[in-house]
Structure 1
Amino acid sequence: MTLPGHRTLSATVMVGVLALTAACGSDNALREGQEPPPVPEDLTCFEGSLSGAGSSAQENAMYTWVAGYQLACENALVLYDSVGSGAGRSQFLESAVDFAGSDEALDDAEHERARQRCAADAPAVNIPAYVVPIAVIFHLEGVESLNLPPETLARIFNQQITRWNDPAIAEHNPETDLPDLRITPVSRSDESGTTANFTSYLAAAAGAAWPHEPSGSWPIEPVEAAQGSSGIAEAVESGQGTIGYVEASHTADLGTAAIGVGGEFVELSPESAGRVVASSPERPGGHRHDHALELDYGTTEPGTYPIVLVTYEIACLRYESRDDAARVRAFLDYVLSEEGQQAASDVTGSAPIPAELRSKLQDSVAAISAAG
């Protein structure tokens, strides 16, 4: 099925995204060595352009979704500018783009602004579409994996546990030869959603061992700091006795920690990270098509990896233009499809949205329409 229509985008929007997206329907939409992403057999295609901006955490996933959609829909052009979550939300609220990607759902004040931006005083929708496990990585010669309870992890990053052979670490790693070596925790130097979610986890799961409020900025004077997940990964890899936190796609060959949950230690995987989303309630007070989550970082559910970052696609429930509504609806339906979620997971190590939640989200995307 093809949806008609065309819209001209401003040069400002186009310049920011051309490095990320390619000409519609072109094989150049794929990076070198990338296989064409799978698409559903009943994929709905549109004609014309769709614009989005926001989270850089979902940049690689968005590249994959754009490539898959454009290769299947030769007359569609999807443009996404990874300018950061805050800037993306601002552009959406100012009607500069059709949808936004964000590491945070719209807050109450932004929801009020969205009613002015969307048609017929309609609300916006927060659609969780990309779940990124946050890995705890370390570089310790001869050690590939560790078990770390949340309290121990918090005391390491709070600089209270300073040696790798500390009894608090050794207790849960009895078969591991831990050296008498200084621990060098590496934190982010820039404000980030990864830090916000990591500190939210520590605050929820570690109790008094982490006496700091959740924040996108590292709350104490760092031992070592680096910009971006790639910067932390490089700093951890180049050091010895280093430990840091990164999005799962940046783990490379570094050691990773299994995290204490209830009475077990859970290793990072797309499946184990997806379970925390399935068990997390939606934020109270929202309308039926709004799906902002209150992540249960303190979960004790078996097999659940609790340190994750969720990024949202933010759209209007009503658009002035029928074509705009149809384009947003068609593309987001692909993003949420089983094929779209698996394509992103194959490239980034993300956790596909659980099937039951995905069905609810697709119902909300299907409700996106035009006013009148």
Structure 2
Amino acid sequence: MSGIEKIKQELGNLEFDSFEGVPVVRLGVVVTLYFRNGYVPAVKESIAACFRKFSEEFGGVLRGIMYKRYKKYTPQAMGLALGEITSGSNRFELAVNSAGSVYEASTYDLTVLNTRESNGDHVRSYMKMTVPWSMLDTPGGVERFQTWVQYLSEQVDAEHGYGGLSTLLPYDFDKYMPVEYELSQKYPGLEVDTLAMAHSLRLIGSIKGVNWFTIVSRTLLERLGGLDSVRRKLSSQGGIHCLEYGGGLIVRAGALPELGSATEMPKSYVAVNRVLKPLRASDPDTLQSYSEYGNGYDEERSLRWYERFDEEEPTAQSPKTIAAGETCTDTGYWFSPAQKNARRFFNAGEVMPEFKGSPWGATFWYWSGEA
């Protein structure tokens, strides 16, 4: 069963309407980015460019705009808001979405919250884009979403971020947070992201975690040996793709996002987490605000959610792998899928060669035995 079919099979458990027939819980795909210098004029111009592009592509479904207050979306209203933002010096929040009111879950949304110059480097600005999960079920839909992840990461020079399946709630979300909690307990692949703005206070020099997409700046990657080293580690594992943006690396764990289950974690997410875990915040914020009924994320439950992909590396016999440019660890035969008939004998200590221009991509050598 394909990833899309698995999502369709579970959709009845993931989306809900109110008694009045208003959509209040929806499944979407999100990308959330944290970045510096949200008050700098050049960055504000880049933010404005993101909103113009979003409106050009999705303007036909946009119905609401939040700037100082919630009102009907029009290109003119958004233009006025962007004009004030780029010419002023105040902190601002701006959102455009497809919801008819604050009580309806929006499936298309672009939101930004910036920082003041007085905040210095102690707080991060954040931007979040939401689209329906069904975009991935259209021709070129995955590539379309990925292009947006790359574009937004580039525009705001993201320090870090993540993207994947997530529960979408109304702007007036408080009473539906228990639903978000219950669904994320059942489906660990769902990103708990309703309070994404609050994490800008804690995620300074650290990441929230990993998902289908994980965005990490070069500065953070230096703590793991640098971008090239991390790329080699991740690319050697099946199904993980690494893309670059100006500020760093975008990691995609699998061809499609996964919901997972209480008994089965998405293996590719676990693999990415194994490499990037040292960058995760040691003192993360709680995922939700307080629930008097206990059906929400308190500090302890939040910590368990952050750790949900923390599986140990398999101890079973797994293929030995060496990236091109590294030294051979074992004397014997090795092969590389980067070139046909590439099985060769190497002595320990030899430098493993690279097949440049291979359609396979980066060159990795796999142990083939001593005989």
| Structure-2-length-normalised TM-score | 0.27
Structure exhibiting the larger radius of gyration computed from Cα positions = 2
Greater RCO structure (CA 8 Å; 6+ sep): 1
Normalising by structure 1, we get a TM-score of 0.27
